[in-house]
């Protein structure tokens, strides 16, 4: 299973939405403002140099069995 899964890429999605604000709510400068913020992202990962690590894990599982 480990030997076959080392070639599989991973795809991650992330996002966040909210508000942020700044200001001063006391006299003499009476201002307080809020702004919506948000972001979204995509991450694609493909392991190029994963052969040695996976090979060692396969050997460890063979010894354990």
Q: Return the closest-CA partner of residue 49 out of 11, 7, 10, 12.
A: 7
d(Cα 53, Cα 5) in Å, to the nearest integer? 12
Tell me the whole-structure pTM to 2 decimals. Answer: 0.46
pLDDT (mean) for 36-64: 83
Is the pLDDT at 2 greater than 60, yes or no? no
d(Cα 37, Cα 59) in Å, to the nearest integer? 48
Per-residue model confidence as pLDDT tens digits over 14-46 = 999 999 988 877 777 677 888 999 999 999 988
Domain ranges of the chain: 2-64
């Amino acid at each position: 299973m480990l030997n076959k899964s080392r070639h599989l890429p991973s795809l991650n999605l992330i996002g966040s939405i909210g508000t942020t604000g700044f200001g001063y709510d006391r006299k003499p400068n009476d201002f307080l403002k809020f702004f919506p913020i948000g972001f979204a992202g995509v991450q694609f990962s493909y392991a190029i140099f994963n052969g040695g690590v996976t090979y060692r894990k396969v050997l460890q599982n063979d010894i354990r069995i």
